[in-house]
Amino acid sequence: MAAPPLLTLQDVALTFGGTPLIQSAELAIAPGERACLVGRNGSGKSTLLKIAAGLIEADRGIRFVQPGATIRYLAQEPDLGAFENTLAYVEAGLGPGDDPYRARYLLEQLGLTGEEEPASLSGGEGRRAALAQALAPAPDILLLDEPTNHLDLPAIEWLESELKGLRSAMVLISHDRRFLENLSEATIWLDRGLTRRMDRGFAHFEAWRDEVLEQEELDRHKLDRKLAAEADWLRYGVTARRKRNVRRLGNLHAMRQERREHRGAVGTVNMTLAESEQSGTLVVEAEKISKAYGSRVLVSDLSLRILRGDRLGIVGPNGAGKTTLINLLTGTAKPDEGRVRLGSNLQMITLDQRRMSLDPAATVAETLTGGRGDTVSIGGQTKHVVGYMKDFLFAPEQARTPVSVLSGGERNRLMLARALAQPSNLLVLDEPTNDLDLETLDLLQEMITDYSGTVILVSHDRDFLDRTASSVLVSEGEGVWIEYAGGYTDMVNQRGQGVQARVVAKEEKPKAAAKAQVAPPSSSRRKMNFNEQHDLKTLPARMAEIEAKIGKLQAVLDDPQLYGRDPERFQKASSALGALQSELAAAEDRWLELEMLKDEIEG
């Protein structure tokens, strides 16, 4: 006999204003079951997960949790303000019988030391600390909302392995297809306020979804035909004294009401890419280029040719130098050694992962039109901005909405809409899949596949790389980059392994142990001097300030007409951007060096 569910939601409904966000949702999670919760951006997935966690009370419905069952919820925006450091935050999630060493283990695996102060954490570091806190007690039920956000490939693959080893039941929300395919055993689809369940993993979801929508469309056509037949009958009049006719008329009114209240499937993004004239056959040629910041080598003796039509994926752990490499290949930064030659007739569009080039004070319409008029030009054709917004699932009333109030997914769609409207033959995409729902990802993949130009792509999404990349450039450490033909899976097959953090950690442990053996006693170790302490304390704010300046310059350079209109300003902005990026890298290197020194001194 099957064990009773640990967590149950029955007929849950929630309305924010007009149309119900959740109309009638059901959820039942058995012990040890791994289910994924899928649906379009804005469909209410995160809200349903919060209801399941008990953080939001539904307008209607029943929530039941087995007595004694423990639940841990991973929030998208955790609050660590009440804790001294990340270790204290994670340890606060442990129960009386939990292993206290697990907190440090999880923080280490997620790239944190435990000594980070909440005020100095980036958004990604805060999310990783929250993930460690959720995993630390090994609860009965894990509710994880986008756990792979801000994780690099090694961390994602480690997280998969860690979750597979847990006995906890799980409900996962993620845009990472491979992650869901590898972990899920059941699929819950939240669509137009209703939930549907399939007792199979995410790998079978798309075929099932298409069958459901096709049947729904067939049922709608049947209803329309029946309505038409009943309307013809109605034209000949109804005798009110005959009960059968009265009942038939009542059924007709009910069918009309059903037709009016039917919520059609949410539309899909309609991506149209404005392509410019072809570039030359050679797009980028790098000859023995190297780049280092102090003792940190990011690129060493790399030679590479990118030809028209190539789709180059760049992968590696965080800090490997992926963004630096892109800057070198596109001419934004200069190598220390070697040279980079760009092809002729290049028109480049860059989509940055931090969305820094979006002005938070500008409206959606102003962002798409550049503040000039109410039309957008795409491939030589003019389109009204509201019509173009609808292609990317923005409602007409959002035309005057400031960028600052948009969700992460909406900002990414807005970045895509603005970038794709500009003529290009070279697309540079830095983590374009962040916060995109699965349907939008499908269309982005199709667009890249059909694009006649060249694509340079940085991504931690293995499935996305498999579907789009013609070759993958992988960081092998110490500034060495090697190119493999095919997508991510092809690279793993040729290389024998993915980009795994555990391999690096094992290699580094003996070195750390050797240093510990020759280290002097703690009493004789030197202390950090005033300048080192001051730098360690002030560098995070300084790095944030530099990043803000980089964002403003990137916004200036995003204007495709700038070079033709004001070459001098373009050159100054480019030079300033390169200098700031170098300054940021040097600051990051100095901060990392001081953190390591601090850890060594403190034992």
Per the annotation, binding residues are 39-46, 316-323
Q: Which residues of 226-259 are buried (b: 16+ CB within 10 A; e: fewer)?
A: eeeebeeeeeeeeeeeeeeeeeeeeebeeeeeee
How many angstroms separate the CA atoms of 170 and 140, rounded? 9
| Strand partners for 169 | 141
Tell me the C-alpha to C-alpha distance, in Å, between residue 601 and each of 120, 433, 478, 577.
Answer: 21, 40, 26, 36
Who's near 84: CB < 8 A, 6+ residues apart? 117
Residue 200 has φ and ψ, to the nearest 5°, of: -145, 160
Distance from C-alpha of 487 to C-alpha of 467, rounded to nearest angstrom: 7
Burial of 78 (0-12, 13-18, 19+ CB in 10 A): buried
Q: Per the structure block, which two tokens stand in for 36?
A: 């994924």
Cα–Cα distance measured from residue 89 to residue 472, given in angstroms and rounded to the nearest whole number: 38
* Angle in degrees, CA 274, 279, 284, rounded to 5: 115
> Residues 6 or more apart from 512 whose CB is under 8 A from it?
none
Angstrom distance (rounded) from CA 162 to CA 452: 41
Dist. CA 276–CA 427, nearest whole Å:
11
Which value, in Å, is the radius of gyration of the alpha carbons in the chain?
27
Known binding positions for ATP? 39-46, 316-323
